Amino acid sequence: MARSKVYPGFAEAIHGIEDGSTIGFGGFAMPGVPFNLMKALQSSGAKGLTCVANTTGGAGQPRMPDIGHLVELGMVSKVICAFTAATRASDQLPFTKYYESGEVEAELVPQGTLAERMRAAGAGIPAFYTPTAVGTELAAGRETRVFAGREYLLEPALPLDYAFIRAHRADASGNLRFRRSQRNFNPIMAMAARVVIAEVENDIEPAGAFDPDDIHLAGIFVHRMVVIPPAPDGLWPQLREPRA
């Protein structure tokens, strides 16, 4: 008989993250970010992490758990993100100070390449070619190749040890559904990861609750699940404060 995938709390669900692990954090802006798992990770004592996400975080208010917090706690050795600095000269990300001091490494990756590198890892593809970033600073010194007269950049797969994701609904076998733009990086990070830990916004439903045609991420990819409690115990997306 298969073991239950449901864990009683976030700390239990993230137990055993090894130092030096590569962790992907799903989400884009607020929707689909595993805020509760990220918060629990802050207390885990893990060190030397490589953190993969769209952004290092911290540009908006209210500030929710992000990679920047893990950096501030000295848990991170490297980030792999599509945003590693603010895009407005007047802003500064929490991460920036640690990056500029050399305390933390960063690999800046175009968002589509980031997504595709994880998709490749989840698809057993070690490397692929993309037109993105050709002719830019990011391609400097790297391998390119011409196909049908156009130049492409070789990009390696990006496998993850862990994916922390957030879903709207789950059944007991781990089949997940995401709502609206909550889906974003979550399914592909799950496919790229060795161990997938999901925080879920609704109570876990019995296996068979979803039509097999309507599952966004199959249960074979999902190893641990935790139901998010109502606020204030659980963290939920907030409206962003308007920018000046």
Partner 1 sequence: MSGLTRQQMADAIARRFEDDWIVNLGVGIPTMCSNTAITADIIYHSENGVIGYGPMAAPGHEDMHLVNAGGQHVTLKPEAAVVHHADSFAIIRSGKIDVTVMGAYEVASNGDFANWKIAGAKGGGIGGAMDLAACAKRVFIILEHTQRNGAPRLLRQCALPVTARGVVKLIATNLGLFEPAGDHFNLVAIAPGVTLDEVRAATGAPVEPAPGMTEIVP
Sequence-distant (≥ 6) Cβ neighbours of residue 184 within 8 angstroms: 26, 27, 28, 31, 32, 54, 178
Interaction between residue 154 and partner 1 (CB under 8 A): no
Task: Please identify, among the stretches 8-16, 40-48, 63-71, 218-226, the one whose residues bind partner 1 according to the rule CB under 8 A.
Answer: 218-226
**113 belongs to the binding site for partner 1 (CB under 8 A):** yes
Tokens read off for 110: 């175009």
Count of residues interacting with its own copies (CB under 8 A): 26
Closest distance to partner 1 from the beta carbon of 44 (Å): 26
- Give the residue, chosen from 20, 45, 48, 131, that forms a contact with its own copies under the rule CB under 8 A: 131
- Cα–Cα distances (Å) from 180 to 26, 106, 115, 164, 167, in that order, read 14, 30, 18, 18, 11
Taken as a whole, the chain contains a residue count of 244
* Rounded-to-integer distance, Cα 39 and Cα 70, Å: 9
Number of residues this chain uses to bind partner 1 (CB under 8 A): 75
Instruction: List binders of its own copies among 147-186 (CB under 8 A).
Output: 147-148, 150, 152, 156, 177-180, 183
C-alpha span between 121 and 109 (Å, rounded): 16
Of 204, 185, 177, give the one whose Cα is nearest residue 8: 204
Strands 49-52 and 22-25: what pairing? Answer: parallel
Contacted by 48, from partner 1, its own copies, none: CB < 5 to 8 Å by type: none
Nearest to 157 by CA among 194, 215, 115: 115
Both tokens of 109, joined, read: 């990756």
User: CB of residue 136 vs partner 1: minimum separation in angstroms?
Assistant: 6
- 207 touches its own copies (CB under 8 A): no
Nearer to its own copies, 148 or 231 (CB): 148
Asked if residue 191 binds partner 1 (CB under 8 A), the reply is yes
Q: With respect to its own copies, which residue has the nearer C-beta, 29 or 125?
A: 125
User: Applying CB under 8 A, does 120 fall inside the site for its own copies?
Assistant: yes
